[in-house]
A and B are shown apart, each in its own frame.
Chain A
């Protein structure tokens, strides 16, 4: 056992840091540090900068743009990206639909979609959940009926993250209502400009707009947009959801957020003493750091074990990473909110793509305070989506414990 990275790995890390420093606009980095949203254009620009360097999709097969890095290097890259911090690549494209396409899709689909995903020419969103089908995803009802060389899609998806920017949506649809529920589902790629698709925004409790309802009313989808085989969509979906091992814990991100906690806690004062110097606060922060260190070690054990893993087999360790990772992200948002004290209260709408015309008023209280309570509210989502923490515990009970 040896905790140290090799000199080559350390050099690799330095190379990545240098690239991030030189290529990510400082303004974007500062936005993320402040807890604000970066714009669509900023993510597009950043993705393209990575793509020019050949780093937009390191984990993909090399023939489609992957770097061929080993798991340790993949991990170093991701954690550096999070702790820099730089905008994470849009997950719906590079981490979700692309692996499904390069693993199960036709050559035609690979050629058509993968390069555009890597360059963020197409913005993808995920159409899995429905109003009646969240944790019980396999009960989904959106129907696709084959008519000649098209499917006619009817139904509704919901919680579609950033669907307002999307060019494409990948959907689970029911193609065989008579079959057992997991066996009548197909995986369809749908152009968002197709007639019959409407989007309704859902405002989240932090005041933001990141999710939508998507309605399908007699939407014509070419049969060529079916991925893999009809009625095998559930297998692809399981594959997709099991693909998140390397990133799901977001250790790098939480590290960066804890740096921010320290920074703000040195600015906030309790009388003559910076908050960071009060024993209570230090202990609280230390307790979270200990848990994060443990999670980092767990993540590294998983990364190191990747070499010996059977390809494509879901790993129940993913659930451990998801549960602890989400809890720590949430705890960190609580710390950030608690740090700013009474100035957590004012609500200051954030200037963004959807509201570019907000008057440029001075901040209310310290300029760092406004995003903190919304950040706390918003991050309640991380224990709900992507398989809720209750469902993750269910998986541990079944897959690890055999209960």
Chain B
């Protein structure tokens, strides 16, 4: 057992943390969000230069061969800075599907362009009726000669409005909630038949509703009837990644809150001298440490081949993150008082990002049900 980072991992941590500290203050972040597409192309290029966009890809594919720990390092730092660039949709989700499902030629075509910062991706998975179920897929893909034609509607596609390339989850066989018959398709976002309606999300990021009307896919990724296990695996990796991000978000909420209650005075003293608030802040620490531990657990289990064990671990982590996140976020606002309710002050933005992470890929209730239905976490 070992919770230490290797030297390379420590270097990565230093460089990404430095980037966030130097280039990502609250005011600049506002400007990034206001930019075309809702993020900074300059930052994206800097990520490429730092090698961040290559992190999880194998060296032979043009990556740097990092694993879940490297992803955790990057995401945690991004959480602290409330980074808005589409790293999750491009590198973790889109990139994840490519890693696990793409052919050698497809990888050779796409991964260097991702790593180089030339393209961003989006995973079009959610549908109106799917809620958090990955196997709920109505969108259809039908074979047309050598290629596939997609029809259907996808929603809340993160980075969906600016992504160059979409990975679309579509059904090739069976009925809406069958586990079999689900495929993963590569679609050029500008292809005829693809229409996108972009919008901001509650945390200021971007997403889109996307309609496919006889849109021609560029290719299928992997077996077009056996995509679900791959999707599930990538979503598990995504959950592990956002758990790490959440820890960064929570760490920052704790720091901002503690800083605030040390300086804000009422009744002639810093409010941090009131024992109630000290205890509340201490409870935040307890909740964050529990979350950090489960984020580590999810990270260490994210590469597990046994899908049931991996899913169980990741769901357990998501429950903990959801609960800790809600408590920490609510208390952070409460301890700030009125100022916590304002857009002008950073704490509310952390709170909102945290809230969206709670929902992303399934809320605490959804994952609690999965954990409860499975083996005991202490079975093995």
Contacts and interface: CB of A to CB of B under 8 A. Distances in A.
B344 interface: yes
B91 to A, nearest CB: 20
Given A129-B338, A384-B337, A280 B365 contact: yes
B363 A338 contact: yes
B201 interface: yes
A373 interface: yes
B202 A345 contact: yes
Nearest to A397: B276
Contact of A159 (B177, B334, B338): B338
Contacts of A159: 338
Given A202-B342, A204-B342, A342 B368 contact: no
Interface in A57-86: none
B202 A344 contact: yes
Given A342-B156, A345-B201, A376-B355, A384 B338 contact: yes
B129 A269 contact: yes
B333 A380 contact: yes
Chief secondary structure at chain A's binding surface: mixed
Interface stretch (B100-108, B130-138, B245-253, B285-293): B130-138
Interface residues of A, number: 52
A278 to B, nearest CB: 8
B342 A203 contact: yes
B352 A346 contact: no
Chief secondary structure at chain B's binding surface: mixed
A52 interface: no
A134 B337 CA distance: 8
B132 A347 contact: no
A366 B276 CA distance: 42
B267 interface: yes
Contacts of B356: 344-345, 373
Given A338-B363, A373-B355, A346 B344 contact: no
A135 B267 contact: yes
B341 interface: yes
Contacts, number: 138
A388 B330 CA distance: 14
Interface string A254-286: 000000000000001111100000001100100
A346 to B, nearest CB: 5
Interface string A174-186: 0000000000000
A236 to B, nearest CB: 21
A119 B359 CA distance: 44
Given A269-B131, A342-B156, A384 B334 contact: yes
Interface in B231-278: 265-268, 271, 274, 276-277
User: Which of B156, B202, B363 is the most central at the interface, judged by chain A CB atoms within 10 Å of its CB?
Assistant: B202
A294 interface: no
A204 B343 contact: yes
Interface string A220-262: 0000000000000000000000000000000000000000000
A126 interface: no
Interface in B173-203: 177, 197, 199-202
Interface string B118-132: 000000001011111
Contacts of B274: 390
Contacts of B202: 344-347, 373-374, 377
A383 B334 contact: yes
Nearest to A278: B369
A60 B53 CA distance: 67
Contacts of A347: 199-202, 204
B156 A135 contact: no
A230 to B, nearest CB: 25
Interface of B: 126, 128-133, 136, 155-156, 177, 197, 199-202, 204, 207, 209, 265-268, 271, 274, 276-277, 326, 330, 333-334, 337-338, 340-344, 348-349, 351-352, 355-356, 359-360, 363, 365, 368-369
17 contacts: A135-B266, A202-B344, A204-B341, A270-B131, A272-B177, A337-B355, A342-B130, A342-B360, A345-B359, A345-B360, A364-B209, A365-B209, A377-B202, A384-B338, A384-B340, A384-B341, A390-B334
Q: Top 10 closest A-B pairs, CB basis?
A: A205-B348, A136-B266, A203-B343, A341-B131, A345-B201, A373-B202, A347-B200, A136-B267, A380-B333, A342-B156
